[in-house]
Amino acid sequence: MIKISPSILACDFANLQSEIKKVEDAGVQYLHIDVMDGIFVPNITLGPCVVSAIRKNSNLVFDVHLMITDPIRYIEDFAKAGADIITIHVESTFDVNKAIEKIKACEKKAGISIKPNTKPEIVKQYIDKVDLVLCMTVEPGFGGQSFIPETLENIKAVAEMIKESSREIDLEVDGGISPKNAHLVKEAGANVIVAGSAVFGSSDIPQTVKDLMA
Ligand code: DX5
Ligand code: ZN
């Protein structure tokens, strides 16, 4: 089944609680939380205190996407704040294994992510340890960018690795996805679709969620 993970980066932060309620009522499964540090990516967003604040009022699976340098430093903080899945970028640390182990020691699901120009082959060495692989379909850093079609090859390559592993691993895609192009990423093998602007910018969120899942 296709799962939808709306990115709160595109929501109205002045009304965070009601914005999250809207997507929860629309039947999404995950909530995508983009954490940026101004170093790994040029933008700064939010930290563990925001995650623990929204945790109190939501039962969604918190899908925390860490776009930060040396993420191992903050894994425990995000786990304690209420993350369910913690995804780190393979480009952000010298010791991806150690970061995965740390996430697992916190009893959370571990994800790894690759940027559009990172060779998907790097994922292979971690495939027996991760619960989720995130293929970025834009350069990480900002919401509202255009989908990069070349990333479909990364998704296909990772889908093949997951199939070969026979493990249950989410294949998530993130960036520039809307009901118009969602079929492309689904055909390539993705089963978790992140959508920020397409969901929070919609005048009919339940319908958009349905269209993304269809
Ligand atoms: C980009 C973030 C994405 C972004 C998606 O760095 O990781 O999650 O918020 O937003 P849209 O769907 O608007 O591209
Ligand atoms: Zn993201």
pLDDT in tens, 131-181: 999 999 999 999 999 999 999 999 999 999 999 999 999 999 999 999 999
Euclidean distance between CA atoms 6 and 165, whole angstroms = 28
Range of the domain at 95: 3-213
Q: Which of 19, 39, 142 to mutate to test the pocket of ligand 1 (most atoms within 8 A of CB)?
A: 142
For the chain, what percent of residues have pLDDT higher than 70? 100
Q: How many domains does the chain have?
A: 1
Place of tokens 């060779």: 119
pLDDT for 90: 98
CATH code of residue 84 = 3.20.20.70
pLDDT for 146: 98
- The pocket around ligand 1, CB under 6 angstroms, is made up of 7, 9-10, 32, 34, 65, 138, 140-145, 174-177, 194-198
Span 86-105, pLDDT tens digits: 999 999 999 999 999 999 99
Which residue has the CA at smallest separation from atom 6 of ligand 1? 140
Span 15-70, pLDDT tens digits: 999 999 999 999 999 999 999 999 999 999 999 999 999 999 999 999 999 999 99
CA distances from 212 to 123, 129, 177, 182, 198 (A): 26, 29, 9, 6, 9
Residue 163 Cα to ligand 1 middle (Å): 26
